[in-house]
Amino acid sequence: MLSELATLVEAAAEMKWALARLRVEHGQTTRRGIVVTATFERRLEAAIGAAIRASVPRRRAAGVRFGRQPLIPDTVLAQIVRDRSAGTSYPRIAAELQAAGVPTAQGGLKWRASTVRAAYLRATQAGHD
């Protein structure tokens, strides 16, 4: 009987259910000896996760951005877009920002081409370059 209960609990866990209550009856209250009543409930984190997964595409379609918000000032973004549109390479733009003493968004030591590229793509809403 214990192995059957363990199998039942494992199967329930795979389906995102958890054992909520376990009641054991024995003795004269039952004719068969021991009766085990198990109550299972959906795990809260599974329900929350499912709700979030269902809402993410809808929220993205509505224009909601997820994650940390970019901290590069609009004036710097405009300069990056202007320079890149003029044909300047990402490494060159990064070097120019560094030479001009423009602080990085996260307080880093130097501007990197990858940061400039990400800022450019974010500012132009382009998914490729």
Per-residue pLDDT reduced to its tens digit, 79-97: 999 999 999 999 999 999 9
Residue in 1, 2, 22, 18 with CA at minimum distance from that of residue 10:
18
110 in Cβ contact with 101 (< 8 Å):
no
Residue 9 has pLDDT above 50, yes or no: yes
Q: What is the pLDDT of residue 99?
A: 96
Instruction: Give the residue with greater pLDDT, 71 vs 113.
Output: 113
111 in Cβ contact with 104 (< 8 Å):
yes
CB atoms within 10 A of CB 121: 14
pLDDT range class, residue 129, cuts 50, 70, 90: very low
pTM score, whole prediction: 0.49
CB atoms within 10 A of CB 52: 10
* Three-state DSSP class for residue 71: coil
Burial label, 104 (beta-carbon count in 10 A; 0-12, 13-18, 19+): middle
